[in-house]
Every structure is written in C-alpha cells, then in structure tokens.
Chains A and B, each alone.
Chain A
C-alpha cells in the first residue's frame, strides 16, 4: 500500500520536529528511517499512526484503514511486569475483529499459536511475559503483528538491545511480510544492517536529507549533512525556511 506524505510538518507544543517532508513509501516497500537522535524519526511514525497531529500538509494512506496499521514503539513503553501470558498478548492482535467484548474463539487461539510458531516462540505460549528475555519479548510482539494482519507496519528501533541471531531471524520475518504485500517502515540505527537488508532508506534530520535507494542515501556527504543539521539546530530554531516557504 502506498503512503503519500505531502509537505508534512509535525511536532509537540508549537515546536515542529519534522519539517515540510514530502515523499512516498511505495507499495510493499521496506524502508529504513535513519538519522541523528532528535531528528524526528519517532515523531514521523507517530504522525503516520495519528498520535501526533499535523501542523501542515497531508498524509494519504491510500485506502489503509487506521485499524490496519501496526505500530511498535520503543520497548520501554510497555509495562512488562504485568501478569499476562505470551499467548494472551498475541491474542490481542485480534482486537480489530473481537473489540473489547468479543469472544476469542478456538480459531483465534490456533492462529495465535501459528504466529508464535513462526517466530519460534510456540513453547513459551503459557509463560508470563515478565520471565522472557528482551529478544524473546520482541519475537512475541512480532507474533502479535502477524495476528493483526496489518497492511502497514511501523517499527521504532525494533532491534535495539537485540542479539545478532534474533535480529537476523526477525529481519527475515520483515522481508517475508514485505513479499506478502505489507508496507514496512522501520527506524534503524545500525547502518550495516540497513545496507544489507533495506532496499529503501529515508535519512531524516528534522528536514529531509535524502530519500531513495539505500546505497545512494547512505553516502558520506548525506550523513555529514544530517549530522550538521542536527548539531546546528538549536541556533537555527524558530527559523523555518525550506524551499522558499516560511511559517
């Protein structure tokens, strides 16, 4: 599914973090979003999912319902001490169909188990989430995305603090989803991983630095520009003059 961004500006409390961004996430594309901290990567995802309001511009989801977007924030946003089991978390992926009151049927349950199987977590179905490792927990969240049957998947640093083996396994899931028609946008910091697995890259440093094939985007000039924009930002804050526009 194509996602069209047209001149979007978004941020918090009158301070825009993402500036006048336009572009297109193509159908079934696998795009890495990279850039310095504070560069607006997370804000961009939150804007697409609708948590942060737009200040200018429009986002055209081209027919994707809000319910068909799966969004995985950074890990610390979930309270993993809560007494809930792995299978229950995965079953929540059915929310669009069951809502707050609907019954979870046998078929929902077997679907959830299949999803856990796909990420090698089936033996842990009845474990409390508190006893999982970080990598196992991320696998469980991936299984929930499978059950959600989303058409657009937004991931915020899914491989932070995850070991190489698990990263590779989950990366293969992403590539598999992509082939089956899901559009994926993924915030990344490991540029080697981006180079080896992501066909498209969006380099963001408050404003768009580059957005195209990964090899082209991750040139050293572009990376230097991104860093320079981020470092000089506090001096330039309040001024917003891109492509002759003003606020």
Chain B
C-alpha cells in the first residue's frame, strides 16, 4: 500500500512531462521494453529490486538506442522500429521467465502484487521516489524550456539534451520501481493515465503536476482496496480506477472535454 502511494508521487509528475512532450506512447513502449532486463536480473538475482532496476534500465536504454540506430541506417521509421523492438523485448522477457520461474512469478511480474512488498523493498522505493523528485526539481526549468521552446534553450546554451537524457532515465527507473506493485504491463498506466486526466482540468503546469499526483495517489489507494476485497491483481485494479477518473474528466473536464466542447458555459458567465 505505502509502496504504491510512494510510486504515485514520483511517477505522476514524470507522466505529465511525457504527455506534454507528446511522448506518451514512447513511455508505454519503454515500459514493455524493460521486461527482458528485469527478467534476466530476476533469474540471476531473484526478487532483488536494485538488480531488477539496473537490468531494466539497461534493457530500456538498449532498446531506445537500437531503435535510433535501426531507423538511422535502414528505411524504417523510428516509431516502427520502436514497435518491432519492444514486441521482441516483451516476447523474450516472457519466455525467459516462463522457462526459469514458475507461473506465479510470471503473473507477479506481468500484473504485479502489491501484497508482496516487504520493508526492505519499501525502503528502496522511498529512496528512488525521493531521488526522482529531487532530480526532477533540479532539471525542472531546463526541461520546461526544452519542451516548449527548444530553440530558445539553444540560444542561451541550456543543456536540453542532458535534461532529456536524465528525464528518460528517471522514467525508466520509476517504471522498474513500480513493477512490484503494478506489473510490467500496467506500470506505464500509473504514470500516464493521471497525467492525461489532469490535462482536462488545468492549463497551469504546477496545478497539473499536483493534480496528477493527487489522482495517482487516490487511484492507487482505491485500487488496492478493490484488489484486497475482490482478491484480484493490484495493477489492473489501480489502472481501472484511474481509468474511471479519466472517463469522468473526458466527459466533464474544464478544458477540451466533451462537456466543454459541446456544452460550453454560456458567454459572459463562468
């Protein structure tokens, strides 16, 4: 429970930037691409969060790099090569676990089980969440400018590329971290769904980040309760609760929702 809430705090702000940089799908792809790294670490070291983090980070960065290389040297576009590589990565990851572990392990890694978290893992999670928030605060200004006016950042010699690389690494790190609670297939959801939902309610970045964190935290809380009562996997429960928030906002949100577009407030009234 505490673990999921911890991840919510650090994942949601990253998600907001992923969405604003039009990289939501890339985030989803990365979540899948890290599976073989996590699986390899799991086989060699067992359920060790640091080993799985490093493995996942390595796999994620390898896929990102390979996709870049493939699209550069062949006729494939980058999105196509990302799709191909991540599917291969997921397939090999699943096979690796299936061959070496038991079905329960596979289910845990794919769908997550927040009930398995122990104190030691919680400590790692807290460390990673704190580290993420701190680093994000440090690169915040550069990342904002890099997202909205990269040319200006170049004229003032800002380190846009570095900020981008750090941001991607943080994203991968948090996805690996949320594996234990959410599972591979759902770890991008905790990051992205609250961030997308918050777009419907505000046009200010700080409010957006705060709202995304709030949504992620309450979604995790309600989702876990649902998962305990019905004895279903925690990842999908959390995402479905978040999906409910999303649907509600999609229909009734303040900005750009169905309501705002087709049933606008009357002119001159608020």
Hey, which bits of chain A sit against chain B, CB under 8 A?
Answer: 49, 51, 66-67, 69-71, 73, 77-80, 82-85, 89, 92, 95-96, 100-101, 128, 130-131, 144
Contact B155 A100, beta carbon cutoff 8 Å: no
- With A and B bound together, what is the CA distance between A67 and B153 in angstroms? 11
**B141/A69 in contact, CB under 8 A:** no
Chain A residues lying within 8 Å of B204, measured Cβ to Cβ, are 83, 85, 128
The complex places the Cα of A95 from the Cα of B149 at a distance, in Å, of 13
Least CB distance, B99 to chain A, in whole angstroms:
46
Once bound together, how far apart are the Cα atoms of A101 and B138, in whole Å? Answer: 7
Q: How far is the CA of A117 from the CA of B131 in the complex (A)?
A: 41
Contact assessment for B152 and A92 in the assembled complex, using a CB-CB cutoff below 8 Å: yes
Partner of B202 from the list A79, A83, A101 (CB cut-off 8 Å) is A83
Contacts A100-B141, A100-B142, A101-B138 given: A84-B148 contact, CB under 8 Å?
Answer: yes
The CB with the most chain A CB atoms within 10 A, among B20, B154, B203, is that of B203
A82 touches which of B138, B148, B158 (Cβ 8 Å)? B148
The yes or no answer to B116 lying at the interface (CB within 8 A) is: no
Q: For A128, give its contact among B138, B157, B203 (CB under 8 Å).
A: B203
How many residues of chain B are within 8 Å of chain A by beta carbon? 24
- On whether A84 and B205 interact (CB within 8 A), knowing A77-B151, A79-B148, the answer reads yes
Contact B155 A71 (CB under 8 A): yes
**Closest Cβ neighbor of A127 among chain B residues:** B203
Question: Is A92 a contact of B145 with CB atoms below 8 Å?
Answer: yes
Q: B159 to chain A: which residues have CB within 8 Å?
A: 100
Whether A78 contacts B156 by the Cβ 8 Å rule is no
9 nearest A-B residue pairs (beta carbon): A82-B148, A128-B203, A95-B156, A100-B142, A83-B205, A71-B155, A78-B149, A83-B203, A79-B148
Contact (Cβ within 8 A) A78 B151: yes
Residues in chain B within 8 A of chain A (CB atoms): 20, 138-139, 141-142, 144-145, 147-149, 151-152, 154-159, 163, 202-205, 208
- Are the C-beta atoms of A82 and B20 separated by less than 8 Å? yes
**Chain B residues whose C-beta falls within 8 Å of the C-beta of A144 in the assembled complex:** 152
A86 CB → nearest B CB, Å = 12
Kindly state the separation between the CA atoms of A105 and B138 in the bound complex, as whole angstroms.
Answer: 18
CB contacts (< 8 Å) of A83 on chain B: these are: 20, 202-205, 208
Starting from the known contacts A78-B148, A92-B145, A100-B139, 8 additional A-B residue pairs (CB-CB under 8 Å) come to A49-B155, A77-B151, A82-B205, A92-B149, A95-B156, A95-B158, A100-B142, A101-B141
Selected A-B contacts with CB under 8 Å, 14 pairs: A66-B157, A67-B156, A71-B151, A78-B149, A79-B149, A80-B148, A82-B144, A82-B148, A83-B20, A83-B204, A84-B148, A92-B149, A100-B139, A130-B203
Residues in chain B near residue A77, CB distance under 8 A: 149, 151
Instruction: Please classify the interface of chain B as helix (H, G, I), strand (E, B), loop, or mixed, using the class held by over half of its residues.
Output: helix
Residues of B contacting A92 in the complex (Cβ-Cβ under 8 angstroms): 145, 149, 152
CA distance A246 to B202 in the complex (A): 59
* B156 x A96 contact (CB < 8 A): yes
CB distance from A230 to the nearest CB of B (A): 26
CB distance from A95 to the nearest CB of B (A): 4
The contact of B144 among A67, A84, A101, by CB within 8 Å, is A84
Identify the closest chain B residue to A78 (Cβ). Answer: B149
Q: Are B203 and A69 in touch, CB under 8 angstroms?
A: no
Complex contacts, B141 vs chain A, CB 8 Å = 100-101
Pair A73/B151 contact, Cβ less than 8 Å: yes
Q: Nearest chain-A residue to B150 (Cβ)?
A: A77
The residues of A that contact B205 with a CB separation of less than 8 Å are: 82-84
Q: Are B155 and A69 in contact (CB under 8 A)?
A: yes
Looking across the interface, which residue of chain B has its beta carbon closest to that of A126? B204
Cα distance, A85 to B155, chains bound together (Å): 21
Q: How far is the CA of A128 from the CA of B203 in the complex (A)?
A: 7
Contacting residue for A100 out of B148, B152, B154, B158, CB 8 A: B158
Docked complex Cα distance between A80 and B152 (Å): 13
- What's the minimum C-beta distance from A21 to chain B, rounded to whole angstroms? 21
Nearest CB to that of B155 among chain A residues? A71
A163 to chain B, nearest CB (A): 23
Most B CB contacts (10 A, CB to CB) among A71, A95, A128 go to A95
Complex-state Cα separation, A33 to B144, whole angstroms: 32
